[in-house]
């Protein structure tokens, strides 16, 4: 009897002390009134590191058929950006890539295979976090895609405007701290809607 109690206690302890598991968010992507794609964003805590990823696939016809895939893999360590890798494919062919890595004293940024720049201010918030955390009190975010610092402007009612280095504006709207929708401008302009 006592051995059964010990076995049950160990099993319950193992379940209750299980390391925190990641979280996956799903979004549908619309162009005008038509659903044209999906976005999957995931967070996976791993000790002092947290890995974020997003995979986006959009299929549209603008003069010709386009299939645009965005893949982000971003790692934070102790609350700061450590490494990011972004690939954009258009019609299954490489269109753009960007890589950022903290080397202990500065970030090195490589875009499309060429070293672009470096800077030494640690990054506490980058664009992938917009899927997971409302940017309340955040004025800037790092763009993993183009290696630049973007501006975030609060619009009120839990909505924010992000302005990138090319002046393109995206609007993000949150409810209870969770991203509900976003209007994205870029290679293909679209709206993202969170699935319930």
Instruction: Tell if the pTM clears 0.95, that is, is over it.
Output: no
If phi > 0 it is left, if psi is from -120 to 50 it is alpha, else beta; for residue 78 that is left
- 61-76 confidence digits (pLDDT tens): 878 888 989 999 999 9
**Token couple for 36:** 């044209």
Spatial separation of the C-alpha atoms in residues 190 and 184, rounded to whole Å = 5
Cα dihedral 178, 180, 183, 185 sign: positive
What pLDDT, on the 0 to 100 scale, is given for residue 99? 96
- 9-38 confidence digits (pLDDT tens): 222 333 333 334 689 999 999 998 899 999
Domain assignments of the chain as residue spans, ordered by start = 19-194
DSSP assignments along 144-195, one per residue = TTTTEEEEEEEEETTEEEEE-TT--EEEEEEETTEEEEEEE-SSS-EEEEE-
Percentage, residues of the chain above pLDDT 70? 88
> Cα–Cα distances in Å, from 185 out to 10, 24, 58, 164?
52, 24, 13, 10
Which residues of the chain carry a pLDDT beneath 50? Answer: 1-20
CB 160 within 8 A of CB 171: yes
What pLDDT, on the 0 to 100 scale, is given for residue 3? 33
Beta bridge partners of 24: 42
If phi > 0 it is left, if psi is from -120 to 50 it is alpha, else beta; for residue 183 that is beta
Which residues, 6 or more positions from 77, have their beta carbon under 8 angstroms from its beta carbon?
Answer: 48, 49, 50, 102
What pLDDT, on the 0 to 100 scale, is given for residue 10? 28
What pLDDT, on the 0 to 100 scale, is given for residue 21? 64
> Cα–Cα distances in Å, from 10 out to 2, 6, 16, 166, 188?
12, 6, 10, 56, 53
């Amino acid at each position: 009897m006592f051995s059964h109690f010990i076995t049950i206690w160990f099993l319950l302890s193992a379940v209750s002390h299980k390391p925190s598991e990641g979280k996956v968010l799903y979004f549908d992507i619309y162009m005008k009134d038509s659903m044209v794609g999906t976005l999957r964003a995931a967070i996976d805590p791993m000790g002092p590191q947290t890995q974020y990823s997003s995979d986006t696939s959009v299929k549209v016809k603008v003069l010709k058929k386009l299939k645009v895939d965005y893949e982000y893999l971003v790692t934070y360590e102790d609350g700061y950006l450590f490494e990011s890798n972004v690939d954009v494919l258009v019609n299954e062919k490489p269109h753009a890539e960007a890589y950022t890595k903290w080397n202990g004293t500065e970030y090195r940024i490589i875009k499309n295979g060429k070293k672009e720049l470096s800077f030494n201010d640690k990054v506490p918030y980058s664009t992938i976090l917009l899927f997971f955390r409302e940017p309340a009190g955040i004025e800037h975010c790092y763009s993993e895609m183009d290696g630049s610092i973007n501006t975030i402007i609060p619009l009120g009612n839990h909505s924010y405007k992000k302005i990138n280095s090319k002046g393109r504006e995206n609007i993000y709207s949150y409810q209870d701290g969770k991203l509900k929708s976003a209007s994205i401008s870029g290679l293909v302009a679209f709206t993202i809607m969170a699935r319930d």
